[in-house]
Amino acid sequence: MTTGERQQLIAEHLLFKDGDLNFEASGLSTDWPSNRGIFHNHAKDFAAWVNEEDHLTLIAMQPGNSIAEVFERLLTVLKEMDQHLEFQYDDHLGYITSCPTNLGTGMRASYLVHLPGLA
């Protein structure tokens, strides 16, 4: 991808930024772009990061407050992936990820709220 495309995806919060010292120290930020990447749909409301923080990070998002729609989009993708992939799982630890903060469920949810005039 071009530098302009990369910067646009970063501005749209669809692409990860380089330069995280913790990632670099643990070897998680190496080999860009040959062993890392992003896939997103045309609407840019769903993306998959490969080899950023975890081996695979799925992102579903949209403007507005319909959390149910976003979660349903994520579930649709997960159900399809479950038909074709087997994820690493341990009976004691749960789903295994490269990032300890996601160990267990393998899921982290975020909600971004824009508060005009706060800053």
Distance between CA 29 and CA 16 in Å, rounded?
A: 10
Q: Which domains does the chain have, with CATH numbers?
A: 3-102 (3.30.590.10)
Give residue 5's pLDDT: 87
Give residue 14's pLDDT: 81
Give residue 30's pLDDT: 62
* DSSP tally for the chain: helices H, then strands E: 3, 5
Does pTM surpass 0.85? Answer: no
Half-sphere exposure at residue 50, Cβ-oriented, CA atoms within 13 angstroms: 10
Q: How many CB atoms lie within 10 A of CB 28?
A: 17
- Rounded to an integer, what is the distance from CA 58 to the centroid of its chain? 4
Q: How many residues are listed for the chain in this entry? A: 119
Enter the tokens of residue 27.
Answer: 């070897």
Provide the residue-wise pLDDT of the chain in tens; the chain has 119 residues. Answer: 788 988 898 888 788 777 777 767 776 666 666 677 889 999 999 999 887 777 788 888 888 888 899 999 999 998 999 899 988 888 988 887 777 777 777 777 777 777 888 86
| Euclidean distance between the first and the last CA atom of the chain, given in angstroms as a whole number | 34
Give residue 29's pLDDT: 61
